[in-house]
Structure 1
Amino acid sequence: MTALSEYERLEAPAIWRESPDAQRQEVIVAFGDATLVISDDRSAKALAHWSLPAMIRRNPGKRPAVYTPSTEPGEELEIEDETMIAAIEKVHALIDARRPHPGRLRAILTGAAVILGLGAAVFWLPGALIDHAARVAPPPKRVEIGQRVLAELTTLTGSPCRSSAGDAALKALATRLQGPAQIVVLPDALKGARRLPGRIAVIGQDAIDGPDTPEIAAGHIIAAELDSLGRDPLRDLLRWTGPVAAFKLLTTGNLPEDALKGYGQKLLTDAVPRPEDEPLLEAFARVGVSSTPYAFALDPSGESVLGLIEADPFKGSPAPQPVLEDAQWIALQAICTD
């Protein structure tokens, strides 16, 4: 069977040399059954049959094209005819395509593995790095980072409100709510509480200055604490700063100096998440605080917070103990004016 049927009658002149020392002679080359037939141009006597698959071109891209029948030194064939050269190259390409390529599959699989690995590095590794950095950060480092976030916040809100009696009231409130290690009041309206790394809860003056009862401030803090159980504040921060900062935290124990620049503005402008009613009511019940004052602080009409009002764990009865004693509440209300 001829290598390609379209070349069954293709012939072309060429120069053939039987050996390196032999005289060059003019010949005719033609396609045979998977061979290239070399014949004397005068007598048409066949001088050689070269296997097409075994032929080797010694000067790719140059003219005349020089071929040998094998890697061994010996016969040599020079062809000028463009059609014949193109035909031989096409046959070689077809034969090469039909050969098994054990390394090609390996290369494809290796390439696919590399692409998958790069995809994992691009899409999975940064998130995994951030999650790991947040997970292994020790409590003292969390507190340090939380204080840095607080300092960033105060550049926008002013310094935290302080007074001897007010600070004592905040400590009592933190103990009463069994969640935050520290509660800070900022002289600005935050419209809710913010939970910072290191178990630091931040509320605005609006949470204590206007309400008649500490249950509202307590409610904001309870909601922020509950939200932090599902969204680690340090992980949120590292997702904002990015994997480079997370990597530095892992390797050096510190965040870059300017990593938190702008994070305070983000905390102030982002909407405060409101947990689902059921887990929030469970949290209110667990610490012994009525949910109704907090609900009406969110929506004075009560329409959008009806679940928190009707299912108040202490509806119609007082909580087991007050959130703060009257003197403590009065001191807390005055913390930003003393």
Structure 2
Amino acid sequence: MTALKKYQKLECTGLWRSDLQGQRREVVVNLGESTLMLSDPRQETALAHWSLPAIIRRNPETLPAIFAPGPEGDEDLEIDDPEMIAALRTVHSALEASRPHPGRLRNGILGSIAGGIVLLAVIFLPEALVTHTVSVLRDATRVDIGRMALEDLARLTGQPCAGRRGTQALTRLALRLSDPAPRIVVLREGLTAPIHLPGPVIALPQSLLAEQDGPDMAAGFALAETVAAGIEDPMLPILRHAGSIATLRLLTSGHLPPASIAGYAEKRIAAPPARPPVAQLLPAFEAAGIASTPYALGLTLPDDRQRPLIDGDPFDGVAPPALMLDEDWVTLQDICSG
């Protein structure tokens, strides 16, 4: 044993008794490779051999140290030599470390399992919490969170344009998109493409209105955002941004801390524009009475991505119902002038 190398030929004296009722007698104690040999100092004859793995100490905290050949042994040995005591302690520690420890293995396995469960919880539970919370939200709560998200967006874009007649025109346009109708707002700057928020809220960049001859393209983009909001609930990215603690508070109290939404606007603007599948867009355009060709022409996409929207236009060769009066369109284009 490596632990014994530094103690080879270690020897000391001690007091030994052969049974608990016997008298103690002085012996010479020799530490061997596998045994502790006790011998008579006068006759130099061996009195006992103790197996090192079996030796125990009966008084771990006091001196002189008292050892026994095992828990059931009647013999004991009293030693006050510090080096021999240290040697036996070292041998005991080395032997203990080399023994199999089923309990440690079991605890290690249980620890690994627990660690795996924690890891799974970290990975999956936040998303499960988010999706469950979204599924039970009341409409009024969604409207309130959409308002907070729009306020965060206004830090970057300025407040929504609020010309009275233009706002009325937006309301009439929203009624064409879906039931319930979304709230459509126009933002003066900061947006390069329309986005949707809970509420539901559709935010259009002013540039989408300013350079067009009619409302068809703007209406198409607003409708596409409405379809996209039906594919993935706009509450999901907001709660992922807010985090698990804020989401849990929303679930238990019905209120989302406003501070948890801070910074969401930057993420939302930087996200790729919504591109719902053609198979879902065309029926929505037909139901809303809106031509899909102007929307397709407004997309910055390769021709092979635009073509299905043009070829599948439900109003190809047929005039769709008018979206708004010409005077409403003019006031809508000037909505940010007031």
Q: Which bracket does the TM-score occupy, shorter chain normalised?
A: 0.7 to 0.9
Aligned-partner Cα distance in 2 for 1:330–1:223: 23
Indicate the residue corresponding to 1:293 in structure 2. 294
Q: In structure 2, do the counterparts of structure 1 residues 242 and 6 end up closer, same or farther at CA, with 3 Å as the change threshold?
A: closer
Deviation at 1:83, TM superposition (A): 8.3
Q: In structure 2, do the counterparts of structure 1 residues 55 and 335 end up closer, same or farther at CA, with 3 Å as the change threshold?
A: same
Aligned residues: 332
Aligned-partner Cα distance in 1 for 2:322–2:13: 109
Aligned-partner Cα distance in 1 for 2:124–2:80: 57
| Amino acid in structure 1 at the alignment position of 2:38 | I
Q: In structure 2, do the counterparts of structure 1 residues 194 and 82 end up closer, same or farther at CA, with 3 Å as the change threshold?
A: same
Deviation at 1:208, TM superposition (A): 2.1
**Greater shift in the superposed pair: 140-149 or 208-217:** 208-217
Superposed CA RMSD:
3.7
TM-score of the aligned structures, taking structure 1 as reference length: 0.80
Indicate the residue corresponding to 1:274 in structure 2. 275
Aligned-partner Cα distance in 2 for 1:287–1:28: 102
- Say if 2:282 and 2:292, in contact at 8 Å, map to a contact too: yes
3-state SS of 2:39 partner: strand
Indicate the residue corresponding to 1:123 in structure 2. 123
Indicate the residue corresponding to 1:113 in structure 2. 113
Indicate the residue corresponding to 1:12 in structure 2. 11
Deviation at 1:108, TM superposition (A): 1.5
Indicate the residue corresponding to 1:149 in structure 2. 149
3-state SS of 1:184 partner: strand
Aligned-partner Cα distance in 2 for 1:204–1:332: 12
Q: In structure 2, do the counterparts of structure 1 residues 74 and 84 end up closer, same or farther at CA, with 3 Å as the change threshold?
A: closer
Map of 1:169-180 to 2, 5 A cutoff? 169-178=169-178, 180=181
- Say if 2:152 and 2:261, in contact at 8 Å, map to a contact too: yes
Deviation at 1:143, TM superposition (A): 0.3
3-state SS of 2:53 partner: coil
Map of 1:322-337 to 2, 5 A cutoff? 322-337=322-337
Aligned-partner Cα distance in 1 for 2:86–2:154: 80
Q: Which runs of 5+ in 2 are unaligned?
A: none
Aligned-partner Cα distance in 2 for 1:24–1:136: 84
3-state SS of 1:76 partner: strand
Q: Which runs of 5+ in 1 are unaligned?
A: none
- Say if 1:67 and 1:76, in contact at 8 Å, map to a contact too: yes
Aligned-partner Cα distance in 2 for 1:55–1:5: 15
Deviation at 1:163, TM superposition (A): 4.1
Deviation at 1:135, TM superposition (A): 2.6
TM-score of the aligned structures, taking structure 2 as reference length: 0.80
3-state SS of 2:336 partner: coil
Aligned-partner Cα distance in 1 for 2:202–2:315: 27
- Say if 1:146 and 1:196, in contact at 8 Å, map to a contact too: yes
- Say if 1:13 and 1:79, in contact at 8 Å, map to a contact too: no
3-state SS of 1:25 partner: strand
| Amino acid in structure 2 at the alignment position of 1:257 | P
Aligned-partner Cα distance in 2 for 1:49–1:279: 89
